[in-house]
Amino acid sequence: MHDHTLHKLDPECPPTGGFCRTHELNILLLAALYAVSRVLSRSLAFNETLRDVLRVLHDEAGLSRGLISVVDPESGKLNIHTIYNPDGPDSDDAQYGPGEGVIGLVLEKPRTIKLVRVADEPRFLNRTNLYQSDLPFIAVPIKVGGDLKGVLAVQPELPEDGLLEERAQFVEMVANLIGQSLRLSMEVAQEKSSLLEERDLLRRTVRHQFGFDSMVGRSAVMRRVFDQARMVAKWNTTVLIRGETGTGKELIANAIHYNSPRARNALVRLNCAALPENLLESELFGHERGAFTGAVESRKGRFEQAHGGTLFLDEIGEVSPAFQAKLLRILQEGEFERVGGSKTIKVDVRIIAATHRDLETAVDMGDFREDLFYRLNVMPLFLPPLRERIEDIPEIARHLLGKIGGEQKRKLTLTDMANRRLASHDWPGNVRELENCLERAAVLSEDGVIDVDLIRFPSARERPNAPRPQRGGPAAPPPPVFASNSEAVDIDDPNLSEKERVIAALEQAGWVQAKAARILGMTPRQIAYRIQTLNIEVKQF
């Protein structure tokens, strides 16, 4: 509360008792200075605190009709920013140029101005109609780093009592505190602006890096995949990306997220095959403190981290049936409990899953829940193996060489013969194998030119999934399969691609898929999946 007795010096002190009056004023102003510092330290929102500062000067220091004007960086003039006057208007749009009025004098030459009585100063304009003519007036510059940023003006509530100098020094200290707060506020605003610019730059960079236009692949089958991914990116639809290992499933997941409305929020990744089931549950759902040995504090899981964004579950086909049931619940309800907790947590997460496994077969074998399969398989995207899009190899190779060359800090080129050798390989490891092959060739190239002799592939014996030779003599050859034109075709011939094997079986079965499935030892669901992923055009009879 405002207490006017605080602003009147002790009447018991005689007029000649200057020390007593000065001491009492200093105590008063010291308390007011502490109150001002608390106001300024309360918030970095500089504009919101100025009025509170002027209120403190009025209530605690007997300095009323406070006014703060700031320098307009464009015009160089002083604009009224904040006024505190409980007895009248507290806003005004007055403006002062250099030398205009007493406040303009501070702008012209930054210095403290003390008037014993306003009415005695002919240059005082009083454009705000704020000040009383028979009272003193104090105007002090507000500086930041030596530069004038504004003016603090106040009027003591009492006529001149011989202590105007002390009051002016106090106002100078307040102006200094305001200047320091303004400097800190400007630094925070500048840092915030820089962080926002950096964030927007990173977003543009990431959007460009993971944009569909920047993805390598001009074959018809890849253009179809990109078109489907671009369409599904706009919605919250669950996506299941399918394809062999090394075909770029994570790249497609990145592109979908960063070109979706959720791009401003997190893309959280988890390889389901990389963790045992007990750790997988904690990673996905989080855990409470004390849930298990080593759980010293609560921890958010990947679902909570991805709230508002996207969760990419790679190798989803590797999770156990028991864990599939837990995963199904959150996909259906959008809620779960942390490990060791009882509180139900709801999240808004888009799911993108990926697998190289034949989930149809896993469902038939009872290894994968059918209801979870249909929950994930809302929008399937099939990434073809590299051997099914040989025409993309030169462009992919150039892209990968640019990446490898950047790491080696030199330019790498590929000869035509080397390109032809790359196109003749069946690429069981797909793009990942191609990248390893090119990096190996780049290491062996002294001048950065990669010729055909540097393109080397591991032998069948070196491949991790290569069939091992059987002891006891060669195995008996499988019975041949006869196509409809009576030409014998060995479906298990290692020189045949998977697509050729399926087409041969379909030809032999008269393009009846159920019969072709029996020839290949598959279920009808499996051969339908093969026909779709291998882009086989079914003949109609």
The identity of residue 99, as a single letter, is G
Report whether 489 contacts 508 (CB < 8 A): yes
Which residues make up the CATH 1.10.10 domain(s) of the chain? 481-533
Domain 481-533 part of CATH 1.10.10: yes
- What is the C-alpha to C-alpha distance for residues 530 and 499, in angstroms, rounded to an integer? 8
SS3 sequence of 484-509: CCCCEECCCCCCCCHHHHHHHHHHHC
Which residues make up the CATH 1.10.8.60 domain(s) of the chain? 387-454
Please give the CATH topology (third level) of the domain spanning 4-188.
Answer: Beta-Lactamase (3.30.450)
How far CA 188 is from CA of 41, 76, 171, 235, in Å, comes to 14, 23, 25, 37
- What is the C-alpha to C-alpha distance for residues 148 and 20, in angstroms, rounded to an integer? 36
**Which SS3 state, helix, strand or coil, does residue 147 take?**
strand
Q: Supply 307's token pair.
A: 């709230």
Which residues make up the CATH 3.40.50.300 domain(s) of the chain? 212-384
Predicted pLDDT at 19: 58
Predicted pLDDT at 476: 35
Q: Which residues neighbour 188 within 8 Å (Cβ) at sequence distance 6 or greater?
A: 44
- What is the C-alpha to C-alpha distance for residues 327 and 313, in angstroms, rounded to an integer? 11
Predicted pLDDT at 440: 93
Which residues make up the CATH 3.30.450.40 domain(s) of the chain? 4-188
Predicted pLDDT at 373: 94
Please give the CATH topology (third level) of the domain spanning 387-454.
Answer: Helicase, Ruva Protein; domain 3 (1.10.8)
Q: Supply 504's token pair.
A: 């041969």
Predicted pLDDT at 482: 37
- What is the C-alpha to C-alpha distance for residues 434 and 499, in angstroms, rounded to an integer? 21
Each residue's pLDDT expressed in tens, for the chain with a length of 541 residues: 344 333 344 444 544 445 577 777 778 888 888 888 888 887 766 667 888 888 889 888 889 888 888 888 888 888 888 888 877 655 566 788 888 888 888 888 899 989 999 888 888 887 778 888 889 999 999 988 888 888 999 999 888 888 889 899 989 999 988 888 888 877 777 888 888 777 777 766 666 666 666 678 888 889 999 999 999 999 999 999 999 999 999 999 999 999 999 998 999 999 998 888 778 888 999 988 888 877 778 889 999 999 999 999 999 999 988 889 989 989 988 899 998 888 999 999 999 999 999 999 999 988 999 999 999 999 999 999 998 899 999 999 999 999 999 999 999 999 999 999 998 888 988 999 999 999 999 999 999 999 999 998 875 545 555 444 333 333 333 433 333 343 446 676 766 778 888 888 888 887 888 888 888 878 877 788 788 778 787 776 5
* Among candidate residues 86, 121, 84, 85, the one with its CA nearest the CA of residue 103: 121
Burial 158-189 (b: 16+ CB within 10 A, else e): eeeeebbeebbebbebbbebbbebbbebeeee
User: What is the C-alpha end-to-end distance of the chain, expressed in Å?
Assistant: 97
Looking at domain 212-384, its CATH class is alpha beta
How many Cα atoms are found within 13 Å in the side-chain-facing hemisphere of 336? 30
Rounded to two decimals, what is the model's pTM? 0.57
Predicted pLDDT at 347: 93
- What is the C-alpha to C-alpha distance for residues 345 and 38, in angstroms, rounded to an integer? 40
Axis-axis angle for helices 430-444, 393-408 (nearest 10): 50
